[in-house]
Amino acid sequence: MQPSVLALLNQPSLDREPHVPGAAPFTLVDAREPHLSVLDLGVTRGDGIFESLSVSEGVVHGVDEHLTRLAASAARLDLPAPHLAIWRAAILKVAGLASDGQSAVKAVLTRGVEGDGRPTGWVIGTAAPDHGAARDGLRVVTLDRGYRHDVAETSPWLLVGAKTLSYAAHAAILREAARRGADDAILVSSDGYVLEGTTSSVILRHGSVFVTPESGNLAGTTQARVFEWARSQGFDTNAELVTVPQLDAADAVWLVSSVRLAAPVRELDGRATAVDADLTAGLNAYLLT
Amino acid sequence: MQPSVLALLNQPSLDREPHVPGAAPFTLVDAREPHLSVLDLGVTRGDGIFESLSVSEGVVHGVDEHLTRLAASAARLDLPAPHLAIWRAAILKVAGLASDGQSAVKAVLTRGVEGDGRPTGWVIGTAAPDHGAARDGLRVVTLDRGYRHDVAETSPWLLVGAKTLSYAAHAAILREAARRGADDAILVSSDGYVLEGTTSSVILRHGSVFVTPESGNLAGTTQARVFEWARSQGFDTNAELVTVPQLDAADAVWLVSSVRLAAPVRELDGRATAVDADLTAGLNAYLLT
């Protein structure tokens, strides 16, 4: 997976001057060259936010929703409000230059070099990895996330629900899942509620109802589109607290995200779960439009 | 605070080939130039570790202890074992080139560019900020860390006790402390135990005993030196579970770390706490040797 295009933003936030007055809003550069200072708080503290967007044949999915969430994450981290018109232009430019077929665009905003008071922003395009196997079915284990389900409300400084660059624990959770012979993990709160995947939202089907756990999770842009589709197919949809026994008793479970789309769970904590291949195919066809 | 020297490590880990065969173990470069790829997992996932070391007149404090902890953090994150001889040489070189007086050296190891399978490593020297005011006394608030005190044992994949680059929540905790009129925060577990500062260990004095909370915290290199000094002064020392009421009832509280050294707490959640200026001065004189 070679990176194709990188756009460095000259003015990533609304209330800051451009880094270079009079310069273009962004500059296209070779992604393989170094462009980041080791003093950037994005790396020294994981202090920044990101969005991953899916691109099909040059068309970006859900730009508005991702920009809205980028701005919401910025607000939670007290980052300067992103200049969304410039981010949109950079995302569309990078997506348009991306390879044919499926690709992905990632937008990143960091607090910038410590002491400079100016954020750093970039948009990068990559060929999307082949998620075909995931869409056939994932083996998933449940793992403790350590937090109570309501911690986003009681302790907003923990940044639950913001899409930050501080994902070392998520990476460690994926390694633990692999050690247990699984492809991914579903995170569970310390008080026993289902939260989300490592980089995805959880969706369950109980009979004629699609359910997503309501627990201060990151607002899922793909989850919202899945619910649109489910309602168009005559299902009811609901966001509610979900316990692990309720997860075990579901008729179907998916992990959904922008680039991997809807991946059905075929094994949960070592027990086989039913996969509805037709429903999954219909869902993914909708998500690709 | 201008960065002085940056060393990029050619072979940051033991079991990987050098990036450039036959090249010097590290290269000195201008820290203000970009040297990092936006594809480095250190920034895209906060997936890496660090150590901060204090330097007085070119002499680095506790190199062995920091290298030991760097290796321990690497093991917790399943990073390749750092090539400690090369890290030591780079740290000593950067420290020797640092400005006169007090400076700081930071060593960073990341998982490297995704897909490359090679970690990235660097050592950077900076002039140390003036911590004189902190050493006179800090206003501190207690804030919920969200985790139970024993989560490092029950859920090691959360990486509690490893010094990772994923510090966005710690930065948010410092901003919340500032909003409450404080200089720093003491983190408290969801079950009511005192954990640590945002970038420091907590030390209490109850009469003739120095106490540090025992709760799966990062092993404090400075905390260990404080205990050495306390025993040399005839105090007893102990690591034990500490509740918030026990913190409130302490005769003295310090936040201790490598670069800021021992900073006494002069106000805890809005209530004045006693500061022993003589004891603090003796302690900091020892830490500077």
Cα-Cα-Cα-Cα dihedral of B209, B214, B219, B225, to 10°? 0
pLDDT of residue B1: 39
Q: Choose from B36, B43, B170 for mutation: most chain A CBs within 10 A.
A: B43
Quick one: which of A119, A191, A183 has its CA closest to A150? A191
Contact A188, B157 (CB under 8 A): no
Q: Which domains does chain B have, with CATH numbers?
A: 3-127 (3.30.470.10), 132-287 (3.20.10.10)
pLDDT tens over chain A, length 289 residues: 345 689 999 999 998 888 888 889 999 999 889 999 999 999 999 999 999 999 988 889 999 999 999 999 999 999 999 999 999 999 999 999 876 778 899 999 999 998 888 999 999 998 888 888 888 899 999 999 999 999 999 999 999 989 999 999 999 999 999 999 999 999 999 999 999 999 999 999 999 999 999 977 677 889 999 999 999 999 999 999 999 999 999 999 999 999 899 999 999 999 999 899 999 999 999 998 8
Q: Residue B12 in 3-state DSSP?
A: coil
Give the separation between CA B30 and CA B283, rounded to whole angstroms.
36
Contacts of A172 in chain B (CB under 8 A): 77-78, 156-159
Give the separation between CA B154 and CA A148, rounded to whole angstroms.
15
Q: Which two tokens stand for residue B34?
A: 């970009």
Quick one: which of B234, B279, B238 has its CA closest to B137? B279
Q: Residue A152 in 3-state DSSP?
A: helix
Calculate ∠ Cα A127-A129-A131, nearest 5°.
140
pLDDT of residue B51: 96
Contact A175, A188 (CB under 8 A): no
Phi/psi at B133 (5° precision): -65, -40
CA atoms within 13 A on the CB side of A70: 30
For chains A and B, CB pairs below 8 A equal 189
Contacts of A218 in chain B (CB under 8 A): none
Give the separation between CA A205 and CA B27, rounded to whole angstroms.
56
Provide the whole-model pTM.
Answer: 0.95
Calculate ∠ Cα B267-A75-A95, nearest 5°.
145
Among candidates B39, B154, B175 on the partner chain, residue whose Cβ is nearest the Cβ of A144? B154
pLDDT of residue A1: 39
Give the tens place of pLDDT for each residue, B237-262: 999 999 999 999 999 999 999 989 99
Cα dihedral sign for A233, A236, A241, A244?
Answer: negative
Q: Which two tokens stand for residue A30?
A: 């070779």
* Chain-centroid distance, C-alpha B228: 18
Cα dihedral sign for B58, B62, B63, B69?
Answer: negative
Contacts of A124 in chain B (CB under 8 A): 38-39
The complex's ipTM?
0.94
DSSP-assigned letter for residue A208: T
Quick one: which of B246, B256, B238 has its CA closest to B202? B256
Quick one: which of B84, B86, B123 has its CA closest to B104? B123
Give the separation between CA A166 and CA A181, rounded to whole angstroms.
25
A173 Cα to chain B: minimum distance (Å): 5
Give the tens place of pLDDT for each residue, B30-39: 988 999 999 9
Q: What share of chain B is helix, strand, coil (3-state, %, to 5)?
A: 30, 35, 40
Q: Choose from A19, A51, A106, A166 for mutation: most chain B CBs within 10 A.
A: A166
